[in-house]
Structure 1
Amino acid sequence: MRAALLIVDVQEVLVPLVWRGEELADRVAALAREARRAGVPVIALRQVGPGGTEFDPDSPGARISARLRLEPTDVVVDKTATDAFYRTDLAALLAERDVDTVVLTGLATDYCVDATARSALSHGLDVVLVSDGHSPAADGDPGARLTAEQVVDRHNRLLSTAVHPGGTVRLVPAAQVAFGP
């Protein structure tokens, strides 16, 4: 396994809005430290949008959360869609590093994490979905009458049982993610 840690949209504007956001950001920061120790690339994805919006690339809220304590060796990729591969250089960055597996974390479970997991499979990558490493909105999905915890559980189940010829999805809790041999 040649892995990369993908951190999806753990941004200043979003951390306070998601379920257990600060706890999640701290858990992801610990994973990033472990990845770096093992020589595994850390790639933080950042949702950007038009000027004057909360995702304006120059706005403080669009910054990657300071809780992650990114290092100069980490890569930040700006994206404009839920799928982190869409019109970005993410696939090329992973190919340059000979990555065949992405360890996936971030925000939000039912949007960008889900879309990026599915797209990674379509790009022929295996996905290690950190089962406690992603969060939805703090109120879950009220329209579907799902709590935040239920949204996480549902997406873990759906993504881990998806059949896709490009790759596999494996659920692993953060405490059990192993980047080294």
Structure 2
Amino acid sequence: MDALLILDLQVGLVHGPDKPWRGEAMLEAVNTLLDKAHAAGAPVFLARHMGPEGSPLAPDSALTQLIPDLRLDGSEQVFEKRRPNAFVGTGLVEMLRECGATGVVIAGMKTQYCVDSTCRAAGDLGFPAVLVADGHSCSDTPGLSAEAIVAHHNGTLAGAFCRVVNAQEIEF
């Protein structure tokens, strides 16, 4: 069974000054996935990105808390990470193996950093990945719009690194 892996849906990244592109639609897609995973008894993991002391995402910052908009039921495993790749230094591989997960469905923030890095690593670690096409986002950058970043990653990651599927089509 696939596990649901939600990356960095934290107060500072979702409700901060740089709002994610299609943030409400992304959140609805993620909540749809949470409902499906809970109903199927699939394991759910939520990563919280921690920055260095003194940064906006310092470990003691309220900005690192998960957003209250998520439909959580208390069965989820929450873990902290300090690198874009959610597998580095977190014990995620061991947690996935322990619960019997055979793959991961990936959603969350930010497309060009944590979502990209985690999708690229998952298969190499033995967990074929599904990227939720409408379940990840980011903010505009000086060089590219968030819409272009999301479209680029959905196209680039598809096939070589993961399957790319809309939330409504995913079953656990």
Matched residue, 2:26: 24
Matched residue, 2:145: 147
Q: Residue 150 of structure 1: CA displacement?
A: 1.6
Aligned pairs for 1:98-137 within 5 A? 98-137=100-139
Give the whole-Å Cα distance in 1 for the aligned partners of 2:128 and 2:81.
21
**Of the two structures, which has the highest relative contact order with CA contacts closer than 8 Å and spacing of 6 or more?**
2
Aligned pairs for 1:163-174 within 5 A? 169-174=162-167
Q: Residue 147 of structure 1: CA displacement?
A: 2.2
Segments of structure 1 that go 5 or more residues without pairing to the other structure are 163-167
Q: Does 1:159 align with 2:134?
A: no
Q: Per the alignment, in what secondary structure is the counterpart of residue 57 of structure 2?
A: coil
Verify the 8 A CA contact 2:2 2:103 in the aligned structure 1.
yes
Q: Does 1:85 align with 2:110?
A: no
Taking structure 1 as the reference length, the TM-score comes to 0.88
Give the whole-Å Cα distance in 1 for the aligned partners of 2:159 and 2:42.
26
The one-letter amino acid of 1:160's match is A
Verify the 8 A CA contact 1:57 1:63 in the aligned structure 2.
no
Matched residue, 2:59: 57
Segments of structure 2 that go 5 or more residues without pairing to the other structure are none
Matched residue, 2:68: 66
Q: Per the alignment, in what secondary structure is the counterpart of residue 66 of structure 1?
A: coil
Counting aligned pairs with the same residue, the percent is 42
Give the whole-Å Cα distance in 1 for the aligned partners of 2:62 and 2:107.
22
Q: Residue 22 of structure 1: CA displacement?
A: 3.1
Q: Residue 21 of structure 1: CA displacement?
A: 2.0
Q: CA RMSD in A?
A: 1.4
Q: Residue 52 of structure 1: CA displacement?
A: 3.0
Q: Residue 118 of structure 1: CA displacement?
A: 0.8
Q: 1:58 to 1:70 in 2, by over 3 A?
A: farther
Count residues with an aligned counterpart.
169
The one-letter amino acid of 2:105's match is V
After TM superposition, the structure 1 stretch with the greater mean CA deviation from structure 2, 51-60 or 151-160, is: 51-60
The one-letter amino acid of 1:89's match is G
- 1:55-84 deviation line (CA, Å, top 9, x unaligned): 122221100111113222100010000000
Q: Residue 41 of structure 1: CA displacement?
A: 0.8
Q: Residue 106 of structure 1: CA displacement?
A: 0.5
Verify the 8 A CA contact 2:25 2:134 in the aligned structure 1.
no
The one-letter amino acid of 1:147's match is S
- 1:90-128 deviation line (CA, Å, top 9, x unaligned): 000001012111000010111000000011111021111
Matched residue, 1:8: 7
